[in-house]
């Protein structure tokens, strides 16, 4: 028989085992509780982080979109206004707009209107934004001499074209006595009757817009006015071109060149007589003045030219009015037979055919 001492030791052992069992259960339960709380904390932090990222992404996207719109608008407006004051008989067509992060890119097509027919003339693009410039990643361009822009009478030896094979129109100043002129009116006999074309006419002197309309035959379509955009100093520079060279002794030598400036359709300024839908404008000069003033409001790559043209056109009263506009030439359209009526007109100093297209 066990004595009291053995019973007591057994009770103590049982109690210890029971305590150990409860301690183990408590520890496991505590570990599970801690582990559960830990995972709940991690899950809560993950959900909070995801929520912050979603809010940040949505907010950032909205902020970026609003910023990009603000960055896009000045360049988009300037490109449109610059086309309005230049680009003889050429209009901006379809525009594709691409927004990115803190900037974007727009690409657009251009077209001419030849006797009511739309003629595709190419595509161009521009970039904008905090880290981009107008030309985006363009570092330069190369092309054979037959494709390009005419700048002086040395370029008269060869007709130039654009990448689509369309002829470049050129213009001659009335205040320069050129050794040779371009006279494409004599080519009309070689052009088929089913063709329409545009032709640039350069005058013997400057005229008012009203006078030009009176002097042109009624059966030709007047589409664009080439205006005098030069000041007196720029006119003198156009008359006499100087070339600077280094002689054998290393000294700088300047001499007058034997050629003079001409203007390509890519470098002239003027007033569109028709809108982009081929509707004759009632007040074409007002459209030109509005585009010129509007373009000056934005700090874009065109601002320098907007300012130069505007300041050169201003009258002595500091205002730009119809009386300040002098016309050096025009672009007209028609078929060969109709345009023959321009032959022999004494005020036409030179003529240059541009785009030729089928009538239908």
The per-residue pLDDT for 259 is 79
- In the β-sheet with 348-358, what is the strand arrangement from edge to edge? 270-272, 221-227, 327-335, 195-207, 348-358
- Is the torsion defined by CA of 344, 350, 356, 360 positive or negative? negative
Give me 235's structure tokens.
């006119």
C-alpha 224 chain-centroid distance: 20
For the entire predicted model, the pTM comes to 0.81
- Is the torsion defined by CA of 72, 78, 81, 82 positive or negative? negative
Contacts of 113 (CB under 8 A, 6+ apart): 89, 91, 119, 223, 274, 278, 333
State the Cα–Cα distance between residues 63 and 60, nearest whole angstrom: 5
Phi then psi for 95, rounded to 5 degrees?
-120, 125
Task: Evaluate whether 357 touches 196 at the Cβ level (below 8 Å).
Answer: yes
Helix residue ranges, H only, the chain? 4-85, 209-215, 232-239, 284-296, 303-313, 336-339
Note down pLDDT in tens along the chain; length 360 residues: 445 555 555 555 555 655 555 565 566 666 676 777 777 777 777 777 777 777 766 766 787 688 888 888 999 999 999 999 999 999 999 999 988 888 888 999 999 999 999 999 999 998 888 766 555 566 667 778 899 899 998 899 899 999 999 999 999 999 999 988 999 999 999 999 999 999 999 999 999 999 999 999 999 999 999 999 999 999 988 887 766 666 666 666 666 667 789 999 999 999 999 999 999 999 999 999 999 999 999 999 999 999 999 999 998 788 899 999 999 999 999 999 999 999 999 999 999 999 999 998
Nearest-Å Rg of the Cα atoms of the chain is: 38
C-alpha 3 chain-centroid distance: 110
Map 224-277 to HEC letters.
EEEECCCCHHHHHHHHCCEEEEECCCCCEEEEECCCCECEECCCCCEEECECCC
State the Cα–Cα distance between residues 134 and 78, nearest whole angstrom: 11
Token pair 């000056």: residue: 296
What is the DSSP secondary structure assignment for residue 314, as one 8-state letter?
A: -
Task: Evaluate whether 320 touches 198 at the Cβ level (below 8 Å).
Answer: no
Strand 103-114 to strand 348-358: parallel, antiparallel, or no bridges (unpaired)? unpaired
How far is residue 145 from each of residues 155, 159, 163, measured CA to CA in Å? 9, 10, 12
State the Cα–Cα distance between residues 301 and 334, nearest whole angstrom: 35
State the Cα–Cα distance between residues 327 and 228, nearest whole angstrom: 6
């Amino acid at each position: 028989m066990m004595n009291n001492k053995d019973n007591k030791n057994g009770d103590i052992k049982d109690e210890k085992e029971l305590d150990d069992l409860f301690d183990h259960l408590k520890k496991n339960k505590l570990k599970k509780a801690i582990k559960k709380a830990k995972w709940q904390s991690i899950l809560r932090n993950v959900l909070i982080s995801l929520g912050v990222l979603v809010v940040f992404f949505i907010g950032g996207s909205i902020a970026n979109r609003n910023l990009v719109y603000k960055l896009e608008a000045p360049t988009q407006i300037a490109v449109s206004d610059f086309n309005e004051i230049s680009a003889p008989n050429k209009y901006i067509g379809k525009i594709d707009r691409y927004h990115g992060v803190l900037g974007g890119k727009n690409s657009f097509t251009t077209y001419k209107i030849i006797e009511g027919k739309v003629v595709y003339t190419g595509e161009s693009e521009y970039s904008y934004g905090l880290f981009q410039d107008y030309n985006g990643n363009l570092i330069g361009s190369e092309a054979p001499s037959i494709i390009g822009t005419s700048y002086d009478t040395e370029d008269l030896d060869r007709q130039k074209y654009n990448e689509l094979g369309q002829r470049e129109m050129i213009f001659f100043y009335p205040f320069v006595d050129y050794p040779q002129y371009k006279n494409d009116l004599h080519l009309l006999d070689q052009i088929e009757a089913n063709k329409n074309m545009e032709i640039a006419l350069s005058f013997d002197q400057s005229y008012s817009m009203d006078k030009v309309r009176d002097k042109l035959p009624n059966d030709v379509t007047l589409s664009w006015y080439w205006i005098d955009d030069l000041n007196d100093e720029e006119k003198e520079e156009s008359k006499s071109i100087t070339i600077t060279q280094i002689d054998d002794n290393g000294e700088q030598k300047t001499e007058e060149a034997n050629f003079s400036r001409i203007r390509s359709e890519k470098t002239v300024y003027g007033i569109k007589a028709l809108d982009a839908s081929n509707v004759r404008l009632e007040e074409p000069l007002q459209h030109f003045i509005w585009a010129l003033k509007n373009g000056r409001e934005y700090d874009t790559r065109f601002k320098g030219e907007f300012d130069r043209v505007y300041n050169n056109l201003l009258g002595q009263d500091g205002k730009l009015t119809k009386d300040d506009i002098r016309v050096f030439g025009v672009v007209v359209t028609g078929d060969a037979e109709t345009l023959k009526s321009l032959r022999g007109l004494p005020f036409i100093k030179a003529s240059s055919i541009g785009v030729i297209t089928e009538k239908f």
